[in-house]
Structures are given as structure tokens and as C-alpha cells.
Amino acid sequence: MFVGTGSDVGKSVLNAAFCRILLQDGYTPAPFKAQNMSLNSFSTPEGGEMGRAQAVQAEACGILPHTDMNPVLLKPSTDQTAQVILNGQPVGNRSAREYFRQDNTTQLFPQALAAFRRLEAKYNPIVLEGAGSISELNLKDRDFTNMRMAREVGAATYLVADIDRGGVFASVYGSVLLLPEEERECLKGIIINKFRGDVSLFAEGRELLQQLTGIPVVGVIPFFRDIHIEQEDSLELKTKNTTAGVGKINIAVVLLQRMSNFTDFNVLEQDGRFHLYFTTEAAEIRKADIIILPGTKSTIADLKHLHSSGAAEAIIQARKEGKKIIGICGGYQMMGMRVEDPDHLEGPEAEVEGLKILPLVSVMRNKKVVCQNRFHFKRYAGWCEGYQIHMGETVLVQGNGKFSPLNTTEDRTPEGYWADDCCWGSYMHGILDNTVVLNDLAAGFGEWDESTFDYKTFRQQQYGLLAEQVRQAVDMEYIYSTLKI
């Protein structure tokens, strides 16, 4: 199990690394995170919803994702409320006070443990991931994701610390010291992550940490930028480009306040034809060749913000100028004439004006659509893959002719809307991961030839590079000695 001194210390990536290492070494690993809080989610083949990070880790294990790998998922919808997903299905919205103060976590722990036991019966070993810090004392009695889970399942537990953010000695020592003795005994080692420069220079630091905590430092992992693994934490967005570039096709993703599944756009950072950036600044939106409206957990609130900030006007003007405008999931809903919420699922407004780019109306419904799809994109031959996670349905406004679907799924269901070669919308997350869609996106920009870039192959290569980097940086012999496999 990998736990952390805080959020964004690299637990998810390390988990993926060890998933691939264990697979390479002949084992049948599977990932597990009891509770995840993230707007990046994924659909399993069975139609359940889980954290995207655990789906990535499952891919590193060479297995299909399953909701048992992340039995509890919290999807924030406002600063104080979140949708609770249990075993892949939504069970309601809760405020932080309701979730943490009304014994919800006590009721959820048995569910999470049962999911772990189901996984344990099929795979060996299970690679667990903690959440945030192990030493949040005010939440300690309600935290079932970190040391409580480690003790319950007997996990050999490793504390991960990010040296790049500074204060690594205090964060490690404080995290260990604040644990009760029975939890401290679970810790088998410390891993220092994101070290810049000559790792040998930290030799004295390793000794000092062991003297302070009584726990060995089993690895110092270099900071790397040339290995690309999907991140789950929204803090990752702070490292992204925010302005247009020169010499490539500029793609602006509108940075919505409740943007979900920002990993939809990772592929654009790896395809050399595109310069990807995230912005809500009208001036930067105007510089884009292609504008993408992404998914969101709060379509109406984010749509209202676009109107008030001036971003909506910039997007509408770009459409008039013939620039490519694309909407995915909530962004697709925003492109219509209006968004209706008759049951007030998202807030007090029953109806909000859309961007009026597409002749559609979206109506919020209580039923959530969660599924994986194979589909044909536009009129291209060959199958594409993607997945849907959304509430609401989108239909043609009466009197606007025939519906023009973007995709046709394997069961011949029409999906999305195709206005013309410069404008379309879809509920399909992961649609850009398909080579045919990327080439269609680049079409019309003259100097850019079609690419054979295959994002799936690229991801597999990255897992291999990550495993090699981590394997060289940690004491694998020691780590294996602490496992019962």
C-alpha cells in the first residue's frame, strides 16, 4: 500500500508503477483505493463508475477496470457538496458535514472492505492507494482509506513524500509521529519522490530520516518530465499551458470551474501537431484554431459563468469566424440553445440559455448514463472507442429539420451531433484518443499530414518506462521481502 504525507505527492503514479512491475515479474496484481475524491471518472465494461486513476492502474496491470477497485467515489459538485458513487452507482448527494458527521463513513467501510475481499480472491497482490495525508487528525476516526484499511488487510505500507515541494523531513517525521503505534507498525518503508539532481546527494538525508522515524528509506525517485502517466488530482491543471503557442495548431480547452475528465485531452499534448492550453480568458480563446468545451460536474453553473465572464461571447464569435468548436459531455450540452433542469438537480434555475451554436436542448434527468461504447465516427470506416458518464439527454429543437448524429454505436444508436466539419458535440469521453478523430481534428490546416500516432500503444510504452525508472530507484528486494505473495 502507498500512503502519503499529503495530496499530490505521487501515490497514484507510484501505484501504477508497481502494478506494472508486479505484472512484469509474473504476478497478477490489481489496484484498489477504498475512497477517491475526483471529477475524473471512468466507465467499467459493466456500466459502473469509478475513479479514472484506478482505471489507469488497472491498465498498467493488464486487466479490465472494475468498480471493486474503487468502491467509493466522491464527485464534488460545489465547494461543499459531492455526489456519492457506491460500487459504481450514484446513491445521492451529500454535504461534507453530512458525509463526515452522520456516520456515513462508518457505513461505507464494510462495503469497501467487501470490495477488497472480492478483488483479493481473484488477484495477487492487491496494490492499495491511500488518499491525501495519513495524519489528518480531525478526520482520523472517519478515515477508512488510509491506515485503517492498511491494518484491516495487513498491507505492507510505504509512506510517499514529495521532496520537490519542500519540508520533506518535517512532513515525513510529523506524519509518522502522529500515528498511533499500532498504525506505525504497518509502515515498512519511506519513498522520497520527485527528487531533482544527483540522487546520491540525499544519502545523508536517508540516514537522518531512518534515525528520526526508525523506518528505512527504500527509494529516492527522480523527478521526471519525459514519462507521461495520467494524473488524477486537479492540481495537475496548474502545470498546464495557459496561452496560445506558435507553429502548431492551437487548441484551447475552456477551463471550466467544475471541469471533469480533463484527462480527455492528454492525448493532444502528445500529438506533435497540436499546442494545447487551458483558459477562460476571452483574448486567449480568440487566438485558438480549435476550441473545446469540456465536461463538467455542474453544467448550469459553469454555463452561467461563461456568459458572465465574456468567454461565451468569444466562443460564439469564433464559431461565426469558421473556427472549429467542439463540445464533450457537459460542453456538448452548453453548445445547444438551452439547458433545462426541471427537477432542480443542479440548483435553483429551471432553465439557462445555451451558447446557441447547435440546434439542441439538453434536459437534466435523475438517471445517470454510464457505459462504454464502440462506434463509427462521422462517416469514417473502422471502430472507435469511448465511454459515457452523464446525467441528462440532448434532443433536437422542434422545427430544426433532421437530427445529424456524429457517431453511430455498435448497436446502431446515433450519438452526438455533427453540424459541419468545423463543429460537433458528443457525450463520448475518450473520443480524442482515437487516431481517426485526431486526424479529423487536424484536417483543414494544410501543412499537417495525417498521423499514425496510436495513443493506446503510447500509454503502454509509458507504463514500461515508468516501471523501469521506479525499479531502478527503489530496493525491490527489500519490498518483496515485506510482501506475503
Query: In angstroms, rounded to a whole number, what is the distance separating the alpha carbons of residues 437 and 232?
Result: 24
Catalytic-role residue among 66, 376, 390, 429: 429
CB-based burial label for 342 (10 Å; 0-12, 13-18, 19+): exposed
Whole-Å CA distances, 3 to 141, 145, 209, 221, 227: 17, 9, 17, 16, 22
Catalytic-role residue among 19, 186, 329, 423: 329
Whether 329 is catalytic is yes
Task: Pick the closest to residue 291 from 341, 232, 334, 227 (CA basis).
Answer: 334
Contacts of 264 (CB under 8 A, 6+ apart): 294, 295, 328, 429, 430, 431, 432
CB-based burial label for 321 (10 Å; 0-12, 13-18, 19+): exposed
Q: Are 46 and 83 in contact (CB under 8 A)?
A: no
Q: Are 14 and 192 in contact (CB under 8 A)?
A: no
Length in residues, the chain = 485
Q: Spell out a b/e string for 76-91, using b for 16 or more CB atoms within 10 Å of the CB, else e.
A: bbeeebbbbbbbbebe
Query: In angstroms, rounded to a whole number, what is the distance separating the alpha carbons of residues 318 and 316?
Result: 5
Task: Pick the closest to residue 374 from 416, 327, 431 (CA basis).
Answer: 431
Instruction: Indicate which residues carry an active-site annotation.
Output: 329, 429
